[in-house]
Amino acid sequence: MTVTQTALIDAHAHLDFRQFDSDREAAIDRAREAEVVTIVNVGTDLASSRASIALADQYDTIYATVGFHPHDASKVGPSELDELRDLAARPKVVAIGEIGLDYYRDRSPRPAQRQAFADQLALAADLDLPVVVHSRDAHEDVEAILDEYDGVAILHSYSGGRQRLDRALAKGFYISISGPVTFRNAHRLREAVAAVPLDRLRVETDCPFLTPHPHRGKRNEPAYVRYVAIGVARARGVTPETVARATVDNSRRAFGLE
């Protein structure tokens, strides 16, 4: 299968992370050359949210999200939520995230994670912004908390399997797919990818992490979202161009981009 030349959106990147300190601008150039027309840079705490906004202000092709990752949930108090609300009002901020629960690393106590998740969902609902959701080894609690939420949600780097899709799809959520779809042993994920309606799918890198085949083992970057699209296309038995076009439309709709 050839590499598609159709435009793509990387719906989830962390270009502000130190892994890009030596070549951030070059990575953004490579993405543009690879026809990645939009990159959504995702905040993980206040500093990273500010850095995401700074990147978005600097580059036409970049948009930002602001939020506290579950790893940093123990930092979230009333003043941090106020600050987040201010940052969310900036013109190129398109979502609250990434927020959610991570019971794999447990870097913040679980009650603090659940509280920060619920507080940020309330903020997003109040501001009428979509949310970018991180869920790792916490799918049941994430589902329970999202059951109370009525806005737009994007399940980032989806890993829930086929059987967990129904509830998310019934809520109208978007399913965002990353590099593991290209891994040889990812049969369960590909089965889920094949079951998502085309108008709910999105592709992302989560760079610098989750590097797709054939670059696995190296740092990930937005240009490689193309390999994710190819992996999704293979899982569904359609062309990469079909996936590219649909996921661009879906990401634009989910984030309210023009």
Q: Decide whether 102 or 206 has the Cβ nearer to Ni ion.
A: 206
Alpha helices, DSSP H, located in the chain = 24-33, 46-58, 78-88, 110-127, 139-146, 165-170, 187-195, 225-236, 240-255
Cβ at position 42, least distance to Ni ion in Å? 5
CA 220 to CA 31: how far, in whole Å? Answer: 12
Give the shortest CB-82-to-Ni ion separation in angstroms.
Answer: 24
Structure token digits, residue 183: 């891994």
Complex with Ni ion: residue 119 or 206, whichever CB lies closer: 206
Give the position of tokens 């293979």: 234
Q: How far is the CB of 14 from Ni ion (least distance, A)?
A: 6
Nearer to Ni ion, 206 or 221 (CB): 206
Alpha-carbon distances of 41 from 14, 51, 94, 255, rounded to whole Å: 5, 9, 10, 12
Question: CB of 61 within 8 A of CB of 79?
Answer: no
Nearest to Ni ion of 4, 76 (CB atom)? 76
**79-85 own/partner pairs: CB under 8 Å, 24+ apart:** 80/46, 81/119, 81/120, 81/123, 83/46, 84/46, 84/49, 84/120, 84/123, 85/123, 85/127
Nearer to Ni ion, 158 or 240 (CB): 158
Q: Shortest Cβ distance from residue 120 to Ni ion (Å)?
A: 15
Binding site for Ni ion (CB under 5 A): 206
Cα–Cα dist 54/62, whole Å: 10
User: Closer CB to Ni ion, residue 4 or residue 20?
Assistant: 20
Compute the least distance from the CB of residue 238 to Ni ion, in Å.
Answer: 26
Q: How far is the CB of 239 from Ni ion (least distance, A)?
A: 28
- When computed from its CA atoms, the radius of gyration of the chain, rounded to whole angstroms, is 17
Helix (H, G, I), strand (E, B) or coil at 160: coil
- Bridge partners, 202 (sequence order): 176
Residue closer to Ni ion by CB (options 12, 164) is 12
Residue where the block lists tokens 């969310």: 88
Residue 37 Cβ vs Ni ion, minimum distance, rounded to whole Å: 20
Q: Which amino acid is at 93?
A: V
- Measured from each CB, the residue nearest to Ni ion is 206
